[in-house]
Amino acid sequence: MSNFKIIHQDKNCAARCGTLTTAHGKIKTPVFMPVGTAGAVKGITPRQLAETGTDIILANTYHLLLRPGVETVEKLGGLHKFMAWQNPILTDSGGYQIFSLSTLVKINDDGVEFASHVDGAKIFLNAEKATQIQNRLGADIIMCFDQCTPFPCEQLQLKQAMERTIRWATQCKEAHANSSQLLFGIVQGGTDLSMRTHCASELVRLGFDGYAIGGLSVGEGYENMVKTAAHTSQLLPENKPRYLMGVGTPTDIIAAVRAGVDMFDCVIPTRNGRNALAFTENGPLRMRNSSHTDETLPIETGCNCYCCTNFSRGTIRHFFNTAEMLGPILVSLHNITFYQRLMAKIRLLIEKNEFDDWAKEQLKKRPNGNA
């Protein structure tokens, strides 16, 4: 029996809404997952996170392996207790760090040797080890080990990475030993649509609980991202969740939902929040701007987040200008709430068969992927 149920399919595009059942509860899709790389969403308590409407959060295998270590997480009660989050959690496998820490890695068909960005210690990860670590951490959804490539990328390197991703996915499935966890395969191939087609075909043949589209948001640009995501999404089984990794802005998400994607994660709402950029339905606001000095309005009128119901733009600008840590916390809270409100609106519009027209209008207002 599938853990994923489609509730409604939009009549005018590939968008769909549904539910994904995990060991720690059901997730409404399309869904956005805030990123808690090292076991916490920066500056946000789990209680605050729940109040934003968040169903599921993401943590990272590589970073938790370095600090505090999988043994420590186990001794502290497992990942859910460690993070004080009893709702669903997804762990990335560490494949993205092959790209983001490229100057610190040595890679071959057997796996990857990392020089720790913390102390330079040598750490080896392969498909089997990455899966075993995730089994022990105990997240609800775990990811196959893959090789994420940069953009641009030479064809030979791209092909090698795609073939390794398929080989490693086979090894991950063989190593997976925790039946309470869902295992997702990751489609790679850069912006080469023929490679994406081949990789998706091989992963679907292997059979996974869900499928991710990896290797995007690495410099390829908005048009390439949307084209590649739309192409890949339609290669994946209709009855399994589709997850676009590391994407993105509100515009990115709207375009990808229209293409049939169900799941998203990105550091954008929290990273931008820490840097004084707030998302609103009328576009982003830069909270350090002098125009906010005496402004009594909240960041967004009608927003029910803790930030907007208690603080003015002028106060928030003051917090940033005096390096008061409350500023980044408040704007991060608002941004996550904004994203979750966006996802709730998307789900409702899909159910009402009104999403496609609304999406076209939103994308026309935000050309070239502008937030």
Q: Buried b vs exposed e over 157-184: b needs ≥16 C-beta within 10 Å?
A: ebbbbbbbbbbbbebbbebbebeebbbb
H helices present in the chain, as ranges? 46-51, 61-66, 70-75, 79-83, 95-100, 127-137, 155-175, 193-206, 222-233, 250-258, 268-274, 306-310, 313-321, 326-351, 355-365
Whether residue 10 lies in the annotated active site: no
Residue type, 312: S
Q: State the DSSP H helix or E strand holding residue 16, giving kind and residue range, or none if neither.
A: strand 16-22
The answer to whether the beta carbons of residues 33 and 66 sit under 8 Å apart is no
Q: What share of the chain is helix, strand, coil (3-state, %, to 5)?
A: 45, 20, 40
Name the active-site residue from 140, 209, 252, 265: 265
Q: What are the residues whose beta carbons fall under 8 Å from the beta carbon of 314, sequence distance 6 or more? A: 292, 293, 294, 295, 296
Say whether 265 is catalytic. Answer: yes
Q: What is the DSSP letter of 52?
A: T
Contact 169, 184 (CB under 8 A): no
Of residues 92, 140, 146, 209, which has the active-site annotation?
92
Which residues have a catalytic role annotated? 92, 265
